[in-house]
Chain A
Amino acid sequence: MKPLLEVRGLRTWFDTPAGIAKAVDGVDLVVERGQTLALVGESGSGKSVTAASLLRLIAPPGRIVAGEVLLDGVDLLKLDARALRAVRGGRIGMVFQDLSALNPVETIGTQIAEAVRLHAPTVTRRAAWSRAVELLERVRMPSPTERAHDVPHRLSGGMRQRALIALALACDPELLIADEPTTALDVTTQAQILALLAELQADAGMGLLLITHDLGVVAQAADRAAVMYAGRVVEEAPVAALFAHPQHPYTAGLIGAVALDQVQPGTRLPEIGGTVPSLLALPAGCAFAPRCGRAVDACAHTMPTLQAHGSRDQRSACFAPLPARAVRIAEAQREAA
């Protein structure tokens, strides 16, 4: 069976006065049905541009230069405008970080009903409205019948995010792309929204591509994670394996930098030295090499590709991956002896 979504060799570049910014430069991803893949990275890593590229929501000076985006085997990058419109908000739903994705002067019920009718024009207005209320109920909007008559600014941040999710679910999508869906929310609301997404996904067998900068969200909500750095995926693994034994030094650094609960309060935190390279002038080899303590000669001039180094389920793009835990312990013991 074909994966629900398979991305191969995606490249999205931006033409700027200073040169070509290679925001996404060779990304491969797979999202299976009923699975949550987290695409995680820091700002400028290319995760949001990747998400936008999947539905060809890239405007000049950006352009998709190469790659395939296969939804159930069909390349979305080759569809004509009409077919693409049917996919957007149809087979693929989207939730964005920006709560202003809702129209401020229409009630949320009207907006959701409109989305229902857009993809199923035979549905009556009345039936579409009932469907909207039903969707609001499904995303656990308190008092959905009343809230459907509210315009967005009457709602709290958490309720607006629920309305956006209801909007994305209007056409029973097979794949939901959620770009930082909880970033603007408080932690207590965030936990509720993540639980809701997981529940909806399990009920509907939907695939979920969750774009986030927050490793806490990854740990809480995803089955697998792909870590992006400077426009490429540097590691891809089941979430448990990623946290237990990261292979790429960047992944390890990122985990070390956020795991505040695992260091003595007030002591120096492990940090990744240096800064992210300019997308206009990426090194020929691994983009992380200049900041990497494990870099070998090859890293400077050859681009590593995603490869399995131990378990087949975990792949990283690194010439000097961190060894598995057992090997590291054995090495440490040998050194100590």
Chain B
Amino acid sequence: MKRDDAVVRPLLDLRGIGKRYTLAGGRTVQALADVNLHVNRHETLGLVGESGCGKSTLARIAMRLVPASDGQVVFDGDDITTRPRRALVAQRARMQMVFQDPFASLNPRLTIARALEEPLIVHGRGNAAERRERVLAMLARVGLRADVADRHPHEFSGGQRQRIAIARALMLEPELLVCDEAVSALDVSVRAQVLNLLLELRDSLGLALLFISHDLAVVRHMADRVAVMQRGRVVELADREALWRAPQHPYTQALMAATPSLPHFQRDLR
């Protein structure tokens, strides 16, 4: 039986991605080498590794924010590796990103409403009234009151700003959301709120997620499949259950051993 093409075709397919940086003096650094990963529709791929392993570089290459040195970026069957920026507009709407630092990723001079409206304007969607309506609907969706719309980013806490950043990323109804350490800068109690929000939005909007974090526990909670990166290479790729049941690569095992776990505590805390 022939399966539906859209089902088997990954949403994002990274094929043999390499990235070299040339240093002053002519030496080169291999930041990424032969990375093959894909993200299916409605799937969360976790990408875990320590600082400097290349996970953020990979995210930026997937988003076409930096060029790859080798390999192809294929989005929904469409090779976008070398597509000129102007011709990328349609794909850009379908893939959006949430960054680590909610203090740096929002323009301090724009009101929240204006920041959320901007992607709609760039992509020529709706008239002013329609856009305003969609901004307010999205704010409600991420758990913010309508009165935040006319305020500025500095008036909000880190957790609220991250909600705003998520709202902005979702304005164009993307199919893929790339989260690069999206909860790493947040306090733990706020982190739980934002993870819950991401889970809820993922399920209700049918999003695919590339979820990048240095934190194994967070990746385990969010991801269906997990890729472990070390020094620019994927050293292990497995389903979540399999990875935690029997990690194969020594580096994965070392990461798991080093992650502090809490002593078992009384569960019925309320």
Contacts and interface: CB of A to CB of B under 8 A. Distances in A.
Interface size grouping (class) on chain B: 35 or more
A270 interface: yes
Interface stretch (A24-32, A81-89, A171-179, A182-190): A182-190
B255 A244 contact: no
B187 A186 contact: no
A328 interface: yes
B192 A187 contact: no
B83 interface: no
B220 A244 contact: no
Contacts of A43: 158, 187
Looking at B159, B188, B214, B217, the one whose CB has the most chain A CB atoms below 10 A away is: B188
Contact of A260 (B51, B220, B263): B220
Nearest to A188: B258
Given A244-B265, A262-B264, A269-B221, A42 B196 contact: no
Nearest to A269: B192
A258 interface: yes
Given A257-B189, A260-B217, A219 B262 contact: yes
Contacts of B200: 268
A49 B190 CA distance: 21
A150 to B, nearest CB: 19
Interface in B186-203: 187-193, 195-196, 199-200
A268 to B, nearest CB: 5
Contact of A217 (B189, B214, B223, B260): B260
B201 to A, nearest CB: 13
Nearest to B215: A187
A191 B269 contact: no
A263 interface: yes
B131 to A, nearest CB: 29
Contacts of B266: 244-246, 325, 328
B199 to A, nearest CB: 7
A255 interface: yes
A243 B51 contact: no
A245 to B, nearest CB: 6
A47 to B, nearest CB: 12
B188 A258 contact: yes
20 contacts: A42-B189, A43-B158, A186-B214, A187-B259, A188-B258, A191-B258, A216-B259, A219-B263, A257-B192, A258-B262, A260-B217, A260-B221, A262-B265, A269-B221, A271-B192, A271-B193, A275-B157, A275-B190, A322-B269, A332-B268
Given A219-B262, A269-B196, A273-B193, 15 more contacts: A42-B187, A188-B255, A219-B263, A244-B266, A246-B266, A255-B269, A257-B188, A258-B188, A261-B220, A265-B223, A266-B199, A269-B195, A271-B189, A271-B196, A275-B159
Closest 8 CB pairs of A and B: A216-B260, A186-B50, A42-B187, A271-B192, A257-B192, A260-B217, A272-B189, A252-B269
